[in-house]
């Protein structure tokens, strides 16, 4: 492969590629020899002139931010998604050896599995196979923990409601009045995004849409109302790639605690030795469909599969 402008000519000396798994950064290293058309010897500071050459055909080397060139490419290969990140110059004979480094996080495969927006089961056979395409990684990291709450009545007849914020009636049971631990699963859901397809201004919308909300649909194996998005953070990985992290917590009591009705004296109403009226109560919060965090595309289906299954295949 060669290129020529009115001042310089270049040709590719060699190229090396490094393609890994879906969490890897994939790289291409392209090495060119650049020489002047007038056969004059180059000075070391001529690197800037090579980069800024605006004559017909110039510059004769890749530009920072340009995509790696594939003959007859259609934009569907991982190599075409790799952009030039760095140029290195080294005097070589009468010319200049230029090394162009390209990288991408897009992973090309024809074996990716996917889950639709309303799907939960990753154990179906055969697993849903997606069309060949470019994909980005996603994962869920869980941590088991507990929260402490006061158990006023045990052996209650009404369980914590999944959608309501307050029980409609007395939950029954007998007095216990002890502190207990309620099991929780704190999860970090990580999505790698490309801001060329999902701008940061839209990511800000995700923060507003999900923070402080409960789930309206089943998600990650948990039922409606059992999850709470406690926060969203955005981390810059490199170049155009960012990581959106949702802190999602599940609660076996749907975030409820027990509350006793109070009398006019400010003390709990009693019925002999038991509290007269105990209700399940929790904070009033909005709710959204957590499944909508995944893009409505094969990329989103793949990322949901990765979060549920743990692998992309």
Q: What is the mean pLDDT of each run of 10 residues along the chain (313 residues)?
A: 94 96 98 95 91 96 92 84 97 94 97 94 88 97 97 96 94 95 98 92 88 96 96 95 97 97 93 93 96 94 97 96
Query: What is the Rg, in whole angstroms, of the alpha carbon atoms belonging to the chain?
Result: 29
> Rounded distance, CA 233 to CA 156, Å?
39
Whether this prediction's pTM lies above 0.85 is answered by: yes
Q: Return the pLDDT at 258.
A: 97
Nearest to 234 by CA among 271, 261, 279, 202: 202
Category of 155 on φ-ψ map: left (φ > 0), alpha (ψ -120 to 50) or beta: left
- Tokens standing for residue 205: 């919308």
Q: Return the pLDDT at 260.
A: 96
N residues, the chain: 313
């Amino acid at each position: 492969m060669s290129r020529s402008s009115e001042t310089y000519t270049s040709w590719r000396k060699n190229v090396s590629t490094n393609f890994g798994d879906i969490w890897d950064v994939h790289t291409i290293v392209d090495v060119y020899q650049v020489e002047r058309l007038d056969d004059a010897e180059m000075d070391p500071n001529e690197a800037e002139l090579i980069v800024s050459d605006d004559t017909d055909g110039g510059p004769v080397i890749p530009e920072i931010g340009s995509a790696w060139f594939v003959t007859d490419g259609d934009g569907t290969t991982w190599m075409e998604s790799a952009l030039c990140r760095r140029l290195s110059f080294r005097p070589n004979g009468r010319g200049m050896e230029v090394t162009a480094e390209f990288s991408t996080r897009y992973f090309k495969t024809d074996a990716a599995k996917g889950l639709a927006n309303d799907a939960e089961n990753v154990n179906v056979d055969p697993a849903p196979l997606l069309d060949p395409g470019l994909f980005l990684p996603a994962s869920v990291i869980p941590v088991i923990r507990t929260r402490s709450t006061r158990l006023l009545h045990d052996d209650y007849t009404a369980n914590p409601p999944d959608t309501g914020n307050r029980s409609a009636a007395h939950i029954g049971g007998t007095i216990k009045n002890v502190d207990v631990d309620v099991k929780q699963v704190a999860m970090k859901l990580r999505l790698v995004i490309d801001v060329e397809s999902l701008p940061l201004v839209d990511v800000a919308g995700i923060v507003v849409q999900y923070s402080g909300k409960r789930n309206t649909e089943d998600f990650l194996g948990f039922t409606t109302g059992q999850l709470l998005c406690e926060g969203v953070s955005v981390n810059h990985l490199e170049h155009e790639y960012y990581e959106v992290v949702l802190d999602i917590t599940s609660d076996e009591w749907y975030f409820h605690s027990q509350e006793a009705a109070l009398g006019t004296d400010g003390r709990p109403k009693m019925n002999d030795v038991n509290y007269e009226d105990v209700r399940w109560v929790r904070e009033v919060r909005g709710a959204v469909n957590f499944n909508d965090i995944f893009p409505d595309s094969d990329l989103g289906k793949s990322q949901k599969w990765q979060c549920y299954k743990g692998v992309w295949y």
